[in-house]
């Protein structure tokens, strides 16, 4: 985020300390909770003070099975990480859940709560969702983006496997801002690769749909600047299409503001489908996501 003109970015590192967030508060280990619908749980020890969902009786379970955890700024860090100090007074919770039903057997949801624990107003906030989806042999994968339905998906060029995701809700209704090129460290689009993430401002570039050096994406078909990559049609093979590679995907939201002690929600749905052919797989994946979006009982629990 950008706070008082200072860009603060956070990434997981490959060596200790691995992150500038910690699943611990005042010495209390939070960890990951696994819960199942139909089981009566005692509210003792359930961290509802950290926005863990609960009802009148105890823990509230999304779906039929749910994993839940919370991450807070690690205030014990005395030396800066490779990337940046943590954003102070930030709480992020994540609930990963699914339903035990035939029509949702290849679907899972992730609901994030982002809360400002400080007494300052935070402006110019952005959020993003990164995936490293491997289907079959990863080097045969491609990424695409349906700009009308706002669905990012990965498909297998040698088979009919497709996996897609969509924001069901964005923080403070900030909407989708960009679908950026996101590469592993390879010869294709090296300016959009993971390896060169070294400065906090580069994370903000990613959230704004720019290269690691802050340059706009160029659609190679139209030769114009764009915020949305790979918007072509894999079936008709028209428009901007990805190259077969070990793909990544990144979808970001628009800007939003959090007042002191205010929270916002971001929910993602992830759907896998394999049909009789690639056209059928992509079509059915998109239709399922649209049906889920229309059924708020599956994801709007506030």
Closest CA to 163 of 174, 175, 155: 155
- Give residue-wise pLDDT tens across range 248-285: 999 999 999 999 999 999 999 999 999 999 999 999 99
Q: Which two tokens stand for residue 14?
A: 């490959």
- The set of long-range contacts for 121-125, using a CB threshold of 8 Å and a minimum separation of 24, is 121/257, 121/258, 121/259, 121/260, 122/1, 122/3, 122/257, 122/258, 123/2, 123/3, 123/255, 123/257, 124/1, 124/2, 124/3, 124/255, 124/257, 125/1, 125/171, 125/255, 125/256, 125/257, 125/258
> What's the confidence (pLDDT) of residue 188?
82
- Give residue-wise pLDDT tens across range 88-114: 888 999 999 999 999 999 999 999 999
Q: Give the chain's residues under pLDDT 70.
A: 1-21, 25-26, 75-86, 185-186
- CA angle 255/292/138 to nearest 5° reads 75
> What's the confidence (pLDDT) of residue 35?
95
Closest CA to 113 of 174, 24, 204, 52: 52
């Amino acid at each position: 985020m950008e706070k008082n003109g200072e860009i603060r970015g956070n990434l997981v590192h490959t060596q200790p300390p691995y992150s500038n967030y910690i699943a611990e508060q005042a010495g209390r280990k939070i960890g990951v909770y696994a819960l199942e619908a139909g089981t009566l749980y005692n509210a003792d020890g359930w961290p509802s003070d950290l926005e863990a969902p609960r009802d009148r009786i105890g823990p509230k379970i999304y779906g039929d099975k749910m994993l839940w955890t919370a991450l807070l700024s690690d205030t014990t860090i005395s030396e800066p990480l490779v990337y940046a100090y943590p954003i102070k007074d930030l709480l992020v919770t994540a609930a990963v859940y699914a339903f035990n039903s035939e029509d949702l057997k290849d679907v899972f949801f992730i609901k994030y709560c982002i809360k400002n624990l400080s007494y300052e107003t935070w402006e110019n906030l952005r959020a993003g969702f990164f995936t490293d989806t491997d289907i079959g042999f990863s080097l045969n994968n491609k990424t695409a983006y349906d700009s009308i339905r706002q669905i990012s998906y990965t498909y297998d060029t040698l088979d009919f496997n497709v996996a897609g995701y969509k924001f069901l809700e964005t923080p403070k209704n900030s909407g989708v801002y960009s679908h950026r090129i996101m590469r592993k460290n390879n010869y294709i689009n090296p300016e959009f690769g993971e390896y060169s993430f070294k400065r906090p401002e580069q994370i903000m570039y990613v959230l704004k749909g720019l290269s690691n050096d802050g340059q706009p994406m160029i659609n190679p078909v139209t030769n114009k600047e764009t915020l949305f990559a790979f918007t072509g049609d894999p079936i008709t093979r028209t428009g901007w299409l990805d190259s077969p590679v070990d793909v990544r995907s990144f979808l970001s939201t628009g800007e939003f503001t959090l007042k002191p002690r205010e929270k916002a929600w971001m929910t993602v749905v992830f759907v896998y489908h394999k049909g009789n052919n690639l056209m059928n797989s992509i079509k059915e994946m998109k239709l399922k996501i649209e049906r889920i979006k229309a059924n708020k009982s599956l994801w709007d629990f506030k």
